[in-house]
Amino acid sequence: MRTALFLVAGLLFLAASLLLGRLFSSNYAGATVVATVVYVALWFVIAGANMWVGVTRAGYSVTEELPIFLLIFGLPRQWPLFSNGRSFKSAGQGVT
């Protein structure tokens, strides 16, 4: 259940980051890209903290937690790629 909550939180955090990128894209053309990069960096730290809690407090080994970390970090991070790059487009311009 905890993994599912983290996945939903990751997707909501991604949506919020991309929304902020779109809102600021009229003033700064690269805002969506910056928002996505900031999202990936912060989500890596959050997923890593979740793994650390699983290892230190819940008693799981690193080899048991690593697949969960990869799922929690990887799935929301890959979402923009699954959407054919539409998340990376800012103000009608694609990222090159």
Residue 75: pLDDT band (50, 70, 90) is: confident
Whole-model pTM: value is 0.79
pLDDT of residue 96: 45
Domain extents for the chain?
Answer: 2-88
What would the pLDDT profile of 8-46 be if each residue is shown by its tens digit?
A: 999 999 889 989 999 999 999 889 889 888 999 999 999
90: helix, strand or coil: strand
pLDDT of residue 18: 86
Q: Does residue 36 contact residue 22 with C-beta atoms inside 8 Å?
A: no
